Structure 1
């Protein structure tokens, strides 16, 4: 029996009801990911020990790339990591503009304790650690001047390494600390926004810390190093960065695509060279992106680094390879996923007995076959719709004591319930022409 807290149950069920991947609780839904667990644990340990990892995961739509990424980040948070998920898009988050990538990292930074927008809390936590270390080194907390002096000394020591690569990051941290100490809230707010890569911070705020302009493409890597140093000194295990939907690069102008692929290669090389200790980068994309002429193959140095031969039996895929593949759900996996959702729902439901009686494994099997059949027999693209339908049925059983679910084979999927990718993958968008 799957057991989760009422809060996690609510978060999981609410997300599935909306047709989205839950942000939390994915460990209890991780069907088919057991074969990756040991390798992920090894790689996270490497990052904890100041190493760096770059990993690519490929799969068709519905194979579970987003689920895998969320499962990885949740696993990492439980081990003391901070995480950030960045959706690559041509207009809002182009991959070749590293300053935008850095800004999205700080905007989406999360920890086990803070699910979203944790950047300022991480910075403030770093200063709290400095003060605690100052006390541990002999500073008297009852004497403000002595504590401030020792904290400033530790501040300079900790920032020494950051200053060598990102002097502006270190200068802004000093300015932020001074503004907080002097009660200049507006200046402190502006400086922490500038540290997070936000544009259009007032010049007067930047002058207070002795920095100029906005963070540009060339400074972004240095600021990422600074963030990693702050996380490390704040007792975080590191940062897991997910770059999701990089296959969108195939649809941009050729010059933008070339710049983006080169930025990805540069990031991989910097991780491999040890410039980003404590960073785990996960890139997700479709097989067409990794193998097609409009994707990774256009940049041979990048292709040679992450390409893997997937022509063999999937059972012998190497989880330690720089690129891994997700094969999507088969019928048995979809039924198992439905079984777990049923148990999560029933774990805190007033209608648990009716749920177990009405939605047995046989019903789940028939429902999954019916949904997949309406999607052109493509089981791999059925999970989202299948789970949404299942939760709707469970909701009705719980709310209406006289409700009896219809035969699973008669449950219909309306075209409006499918998103663009599901319609395309199922072939339902095809137009028949009479000749």
Structure 2
């Protein structure tokens, strides 16, 4: 085997132990991690690397280097995407025959390709939530001047986010950054690609009998366009109103915060008569609730999860209104007395079911349902016992590895999306 060339920001020596002189499709089973994956134009396999799992994709050297740099830039901009690990070129077999270079990315724990969110039938509510999550991701990409060029459900991973989904970019091969932002035409082009690809993916599911009869693939694909335009207008669109309605400035800021965005700059102008006010958000930054939760508690969570945890934290702060108390100190107490005891109470064999923040969100929902059902305020500890026994124990393990071969498109029968309405019926 000739000398390998490894490009990595923080090289892992364990990379050198992988069988780079063997075609990826022939790698031994003891190196392969059997995880569900989406459809790709390139050969992709999940591989054990030390104590973690990485995705290895065979591609051209130029494409691998470009995608690696794009992913690193997206990460610096706090855009949800997979973590680039390395680019490896110079692979050859023992007989000297050249092998394709590879891009190595870190597997995103608790994430699923869209095909792994159902077994036999994709339900309408799940399809809508996936499309909405993808629309938000596309808006965030366009705000930082990134043209994706291949927007699709297949090029996205999804993580649960308090009743919704958070979308992560997986394949940036066709992407490109534009320093001065995207034109309206470029944004519309990405939207058109998204609409066509989503329609095709859903039509493929329909042909395989895996789409609910109530889902219209074409109509559902239109959903990303309407959701995208609604978000884009709210985040970047100008607004004007009478000077007597200046309260609408704060209302606009609050709506943006509710969507999970912070305003970096807000331009405010009045006309010559002084009777009309014009406002224009210049740049917005995503992750408003996630940042606040991280700052107060050190808990890293998805945006909707963070909003839900902050609601519980705010309720805890309201119950402890002692004058002079430091909110950060009370937040630390909430972590120690409420959040961590819940997470630590989960039996070891169940800890791969859900992320801690998602588990806590579902527990709060479960507690509310029990309280409504029993017409009393159910203590959190009692709700936790019920949740563990009647709900969590019966979920599939989203952090675990599955038995089918990684290369197979057929997914295990128990990979099913379970909205809260479903698990409540099991109580």
- Give the TM-score category using the shorter length: under 0.3
* The structure with more helix, counted as a fraction of residues: 1
Q: Which has the larger radius of gyration?
A: 1
* The structure with more strand, counted as a fraction of residues: 2
The normalised TM-score by structure 1 is: 0.25
